[in-house]
Structure 1
Amino acid sequence: MTTWAIGIDIGGTFTDVVALDYGAGRLVSLKVLTTHGDPAQGVADGVSRLMHTHNIDPRRVTRVVHATTLFTNALIERRGSTTGLLTTLGFRDVLEIGHERKYDLYDLTIEPAPTLVPRRLRAEIRGRMDAQGHEIEAPDAGEVRAVVGRLVEQGVDSLAVCLLHAYGTPAHERLVRDWIERDFPGLHVTLSSDVAPVIREFERNSTTVANAYIKPLATRYLDALEGRLQALGLHAGVLMMLSNGGLAHIGEAKRNPIELLESGPAAGAISAAHYSLRDAQPDLLAFDMGGTTAKLCLVEDGKPAITFGFEAARRKRFAEGSGLPIRITTIDLIEIGAGGGSIAHQDALGLLKVGPQSAGSEPGPACYGLGGTDPTVTDANLVLGYLNPDYFAGGTMAISVDRAAEALGRAGERLARDVTGVAWGIHDIVAENMAGAARVHVAERGRDPRGFVLLCTGGGGPLHAYYVAQKIGVRTILCPPAAGVASAYGLLVSPARADRSRTVSVRPATDALDRLEAAFAELESQSREALAPLDDSFGPIQLVRHADGRFAGQGFNLSVRLPDGPYIGKQPADVVRAALIAAFESGYREKFGRTPPDVPVELVTLRVTGEAPPRQAFVAETLPEGVDAAPGSRRKVYFREADGYLDTPVFDRATLPAGFRAQGPLLIEDAGSTLVVGPKGRVTQGASGNLVIELEEHAA
């Protein structure tokens, strides 16, 4: 019996819909423009069209998985709910005090990132725990009712509760929540002990407030999404991609929508890792470029890098401290404002710049003919010949070369350049911006990019990978099947995952191991509980222990993987202690080269990852063998090596057999993207369906 799974990824420009036919090993996909006024409508339209086109019986759809950037955009654009903050007496201004550090020392007019909660909507209550969990003063129900009532009168419909030391002892926060839900049943409530039970007051406040800020929006959207999909006959339920690269039940996402912030990019990284292992390429730079942004992630040993915090909505894209610190587990990636819709403009010095402003899908690039007049990356790629105006997004929408040329021509008049010069300048600037970000991202992790393969996905990744790779010194490019909808595909090959953390300060050399084991056991129980609703489709569960540790006296922590438990009864205590210390010291030496002598190790925050792979794996259909394929057409395409347009063969990817080899220049098109192979590239198609481009040694 044929069964299907559907993946849906909403981006700033396009909504991608992918369906997997498990019986035939077949993938089908569709791109539609994102409907920003009602994103759920665009999803419903795209799913309906895909099901109708490919005769997908909704009763045979066993899984629907979704990722979205809607909530990230709500933070950036400040379109969340009116949010209040309830905190311990004396801690009302933690959000504004922050770290008391300037993110730009030399900017005399610097402004801090604005808080999500203005001071008039931040309130304090009595009641306090100490750091050891002992109650100093109990909260008062009458005071809580009066304080929250005043916030509600000012329009607050979502409330963040962040009480002192709740990361260690959440009893007061839970008591306050019970009182609020009794007295104000329509109010959304977020507890710091549920969202970010870790030390550092500013980060804990910021994460809790951000979750509260988007929670009503997330609830409304996810409810609407479920309703629209059920109306199409899809009753399997919806799973959501989390920022950590794993899936969770939609109910979990509604409780803590902050975990969805990087869901789309995370799905792209998971897809990249999946495709790379098909050809035994475990170490790669995953380069994903869509309509609004470009992302890059380091993948080693087939696993995307993970981090336990990032900054959202930065005022300056690369300036640490200029955004909102968010303490969640997330795929570690770097993002720049360079996508197909990124607008080219002149800066104050008269120089050509690209992004971060984007035309998005409304009105979109000039070539869309939907009202956009500014020149964009897509307009440049169309004029350069990289895009086929008759087969854009699989032929689902028409785009105009003339409109693109007009927009570029207006920019050229200001820059004293012809249309081709402006178009190439835009393409080259995007490549340099991405390459510069890649160099920094890789260097910060102590790696050399020349030892990696560049895997390109998204609608724009295959268009730009040829020149990006040369700029960063990479010699091999990998372009997977259906690269243009790789994030949506990644949703359907991702595991279920639950991350749980808690601050528990332990010195493994001297403190009681039973306390450490009890804390880890509780976190493991929480991870299993979160994954239990998905047991029919995902399993078995694998649990991994980590900890953020430091040498005593240090101010910042390093996260390392710890040995598997249990730590009591399995081995002698001295063996366990030595293994815990050795695990941290090994990670510290890898990061910093050496360890300080005679300083005890402290484990500060304990973390558990529960992961369960899909029980039904997707096995792609085998490509037919062969070596020959004829181009479907030819067109004039600009290449810098030739300093002009070359008559270039254009291949339909669907017609290429395993074993196909060809020397550039050439283009390879499919419904979601176009792979550009310049004169210095030689392309081969493997049996896996991956296209491999080998570049000559001399950099462009």
Structure 2
Amino acid sequence: MSTWAIGIDIGGTFTDVVALNYGGGALRSLKVLTTHGDPAEGVANGVQALITECQIDSRQVKRIVHATTLFTNALIERRGEPTGLLTTEGFRDVIEIGNERKYDLYDLNIEAAPALVQRRWRVEIGARMDADGQELAPVDAEQVKRAVAPLIEEGVKSLAVCLLHAYVDPSHEIAVRDILKQAYPDLDITLSSDVAPVIREFERTSTTCANAYIKPLANRYLTALQRRLSALALPTDVLMMLSNGGLCHVDEARRTPIELLESGPAAGAISASHYSARDSLSDLLAFDMGGTTAKLCLVENGNPSIAYGFEAARQRRFAEGSGLPIRITTVDLIEIGAGGGSIAYRDALGLLKVGPQSAGSEPGPACYGLGGEDATVTDANLLLGYLNPEYFAGGTMNIDVDLAGQQLGKIGDEVGRDKVGVAWGIHDIVAENMAGAARVHVAERGRDPRDFVLLCTGGGGPLHGYYVAQKIGVSKLVCPPAAGVASAYGLLVAPARADRSRTVSVRPGSDSLQTLESAFADLETQVQISLNALEATFGPVRISRYADGRFAGQGFTLTVPLPDGPYHGPGASDEASVRAALLTAFEAGYREKFGRTPPDVPIELLNLRVSGEAPPRQKPPHEAVPTGATATPKARRNVYFRECNDYVDTPIYDRATLCAGFQAMGPLLVEDAGSTLVVGPRGRVSQSLSGNLIVDILEQA
């Protein structure tokens, strides 16, 4: 009997569902509109429709993997539960004081991101540790209950506990949790020592509060999801995609839902890495454009870039410091407010602008006919001929070219252009916004974008990739199979992963290696315990060690990989060799980032990090791609290309009919159920044995 795995990715506009047959490698997909009132309803509808269409017996489904933007949106829209904060005396206002940096020095009306916890719901207790973990004042059980009682009376459902120096010794926070669990068993409690056991009070408190804020919502949603899957006789032990690009069990996600914030975009980066490996392309710019946003991730040597923190719910989308700092391990992404639903408008200067506001799925772009009255990127692409109105989302939706033209015409009247000029302007602005962000993102990492391949996924990536590539100087473009649902597919090829960290200040050149090894060994044990629940389907586990280090006297740290352990005890090299290896590892990372190291300054390792990764034991097979160089267009239509400054009679190919060895010069379009690849007049497209479509962009004549 064939076995199937199902991947589900909830986006701002569409919910993507894919089913993979492990018997023959068949991949089937479906897009449905996201149901924002009850996202689990859209998931259930999509899964039901797909298994019915593919005639899948629910008993054949062995694995369900899920990613969602639900919790990110809850932070942005402030839709979490009433949340309180219990902290050490004197630290009640840390989440409002922040780091006292202005993200815009010249804006006199600047506003910081509002705190997730109202001031009246922040309470203090006298329990206190010093920086070495020595107790200065014990936990008073009666004081804890007195402090929290008014919050319970006012309806607080979730509590963040963030006590001073709990990253050194969590015993006070654990004692507080035990007291409150006995007194208020229905209260959701988040400890900073569980979520972010690292220094810097503002960032640690912000992360803890964010987890507490979304935790009740996450538990309700995951319970509703499991209930709906159970009603379909499908497995309920769902795997969840984490922001770090790995999978965890649903029970782990309930404990720390903050780790799911970037799960959808992370799945897209994993998918890009997987597809590129088929053609030995190791250095990529993974460009994923959906209905609401576009994301870009740098992939080097086949591995997506990783960061150890990001900002959520920014006041200004592109202004660093204007959001809530979240200290979790995440795939390093840039995000642009440019998706299919991004709204075009005339600004105060009379200029055409696009995004970041989005029409989403409710009411959606004007062409959906669901009441949307704003011109969007999708409307522009439809008028330009890039989208097929009879095959949108695989023919599951009817879209109206006339409605799109009406709204584009209104914008045209405002900016003094015809509707075709407005449509091209929208398409070009989106490409320039993405290219500009990509240039900065790549340059900040000391790389040249011309050395990379642009891999396009999402419903909008293949539509815009041709012009984005030219703007950033990339000459090769890759569009993988099922690009429109690549993030959902990425869920099915992702490894299981767990990351743990803690603050331990060590100078590897002189301090005790036993202390360092003991701390790393403890973190590795935590990682192993987390991954043990998945060992039947994922393994073996590969453990990697990292550290946030600095030269003594510096204010900030740099994360670098460290040699494998142990550093002390049985199996370790001699002490001098271990110390030399640790120092060399940090200096190498520092030189790569900054070019040189300061002379005669000791190195400090401040935060220790351990990552554990376990690949799927059952690899998804690939459907065989038939060979044959010839292919016949399924249709022709007029499509606008800037190089021609006009509409061009353009062949339209059905991707399912293309064989390995197919080659053609643009202009042309290649359609499948989830996306359309645009190949302009300077593009030459070929299909590889892997199923990837590869576009080489020729030099301008």
* TM value normalised by structure 2: 0.99
1:62–1:236 contact (8 Å) kept in structure 2: no
Within-5 A mapping of 1:228-267: 228-235=228-235, 237-267=237-267
Match of 1:686 in 2: 688
Residues of 2 paired with 1:265 and 1:73: CA distance?
Answer: 14
Structure 1 runs of 4+ with >3 Å offset: none
Residues of 2 paired with 1:15 and 1:128: CA distance?
Answer: 47
Q: For 1:664, which of 657, 663, 666 is the aligned residue?
A: 666
Match of 1:414 in 2: 414
> Structure 2 counterpart of 1:645, which letter?
Y
Match of 1:635 in 2: 637
Match of 1:677 in 2: 679
Match of 2:343 in 1: 343
Match of 1:478 in 2: 478
Residues of 2 paired with 1:625 and 1:59: CA distance?
Answer: 35
1:60 positional shift: 1.1
> Structure 2 counterpart of 1:379, which letter?
D
Residues of 2 paired with 1:171 and 1:19: CA distance?
Answer: 46
Match of 2:544 in 1: 544
Give the match's secondary structure for 2:643.
Answer: helix
> Structure 2 counterpart of 1:214, which letter?
I
Match of 1:461 in 2: 461
Within-5 A mapping of 1:419-434: 419-434=419-434
Match of 2:589 in 1: 587
1:622 positional shift: 1.3
1:346 positional shift: 1.1
Match of 1:446 in 2: 446
Per-residue CA deviations over 1:474-530 (Å, capped at 9, x if unaligned) read 000000000000000000000000000010000001111111001000000000000
Match of 1:607 in 2: 609
> Structure 2 counterpart of 1:204, which letter?
R
1:390 positional shift: 0.2
Residues of 2 paired with 1:549 and 1:483: CA distance?
Answer: 39
Pairwise CA RMSD of aligned residues? 0.7
Residues of 2 paired with 1:372 and 1:38: CA distance?
Answer: 21
Residues of 2 paired with 1:657 and 1:575: CA distance?
Answer: 55
2:267–2:490 contact (8 Å) kept in structure 1: yes
Per-residue CA deviations over 1:541-584 (Å, capped at 9, x if unaligned) read 11000000000110000000000001113210010000000000
2:384–2:420 contact (8 Å) kept in structure 1: yes
1:166–1:192 contact (8 Å) kept in structure 2: yes
Q: For structure 1, which runs of at least 5 residues remain unmatched after alignment?
A: none
2:64–2:235 contact (8 Å) kept in structure 1: no
Per-residue CA deviations over 1:180-232 (Å, capped at 9, x if unaligned) read 11001111100000000000000000000000000000000000001101111
Give the match's secondary structure for 1:535.
Answer: coil
Match of 1:330 in 2: 330
Within-5 A mapping of 1:171-320: 171-235=171-235, 237-320=237-320
Within-5 A mapping of 1:643-654: 643-654=645-656
Residues of 1 paired with 2:114 and 2:134: CA distance?
Answer: 35
1:256 positional shift: 0.3
Residues of 2 paired with 1:103 and 1:119: CA distance?
Answer: 23
Match of 1:135 in 2: 135
Match of 2:358 in 1: 358
Give the match's secondary structure for 1:439.
Answer: helix
Residues of 2 paired with 1:459 and 1:275: CA distance?
Answer: 16
Match of 2:84 in 1: 84
Residues of 1 paired with 2:537 and 2:24: CA distance?
Answer: 19
Per-residue CA deviations over 1:153-173 (Å, capped at 9, x if unaligned) read 122111000000001100000
1:356 positional shift: 0.4
Match of 1:119 in 2: 119
Select between 312-321 and 248-257 the one with higher mean Cα deviation: 312-321
2:477–2:696 contact (8 Å) kept in structure 1: yes
1:133–1:168 contact (8 Å) kept in structure 2: yes
Residues of 1 paired with 2:42 and 2:281: CA distance?
Answer: 36
Give the match's secondary structure for 2:335.
Answer: strand
Residues of 2 paired with 1:356 and 1:94: CA distance?
Answer: 30
Match of 1:500 in 2: 500
1:235 positional shift: 2.2
1:113 positional shift: 1.1
> Structure 2 counterpart of 1:664, which letter?
G
Residue-pair matches, total: 699
Residues of 1 paired with 2:656 and 2:235: CA distance?
Answer: 33
Give the match's secondary structure for 1:534.
Answer: coil
1:698 positional shift: 2.8
1:691 positional shift: 0.2
1:619 positional shift: 1.5
Residues of 1 paired with 2:47 and 2:573: CA distance?
Answer: 54
Match of 2:393 in 1: 393
Identity %, equivalent residues: 73
> Structure 1 counterpart of 2:680, which letter?
G
Within-5 A mapping of 1:618-633: 618-633=620-635
> Structure 2 counterpart of 1:330, which letter?
T
Per-residue CA deviations over 1:43-78 (Å, capped at 9, x if unaligned) read 000000000000111111111000000100111111
Q: For 2:577, which of 575, 578, 582 is the aligned residue?
A: 575
> Structure 1 counterpart of 2:342, which letter?
S
> Structure 2 counterpart of 1:241, which letter?
M
Give the match's secondary structure for 1:525.
Answer: helix
Residues of 2 paired with 1:433 and 1:422: CA distance?
Answer: 16
> Structure 1 counterpart of 2:95, which letter?
L
Residues of 2 paired with 1:67 and 1:508: CA distance?
Answer: 39
Give the match's secondary structure for 2:650.
Answer: strand
> Structure 1 counterpart of 2:456, which letter?
C
Give the match's secondary structure for 1:641.
Answer: coil
1:238 positional shift: 0.2
1:61–1:236 contact (8 Å) kept in structure 2: no
1:236 positional shift: 5.4
Give the match's secondary structure for 1:340.
Answer: coil
> Structure 2 counterpart of 1:428, which letter?
D
Per-residue CA deviations over 1:66-100 (Å, capped at 9, x if unaligned) read 00001001111111111110000010010111111
Select between 409-418 and 265-274 the one with higher mean Cα deviation: 409-418
Within-5 A mapping of 1:511-550: 511-550=511-550
Match of 2:69 in 1: 69
> Structure 2 counterpart of 1:290, which letter?
G
Match of 1:561 in 2: 561
> Structure 1 counterpart of 2:499, which letter?
D
Residues of 2 paired with 1:689 and 1:57: CA distance?
Answer: 28
Residues of 1 paired with 2:490 and 2:497: CA distance?
Answer: 14
> Structure 2 counterpart of 1:237, which letter?
D
Residues of 2 paired with 1:60 and 1:515: CA distance?
Answer: 49
Match of 1:55 in 2: 55
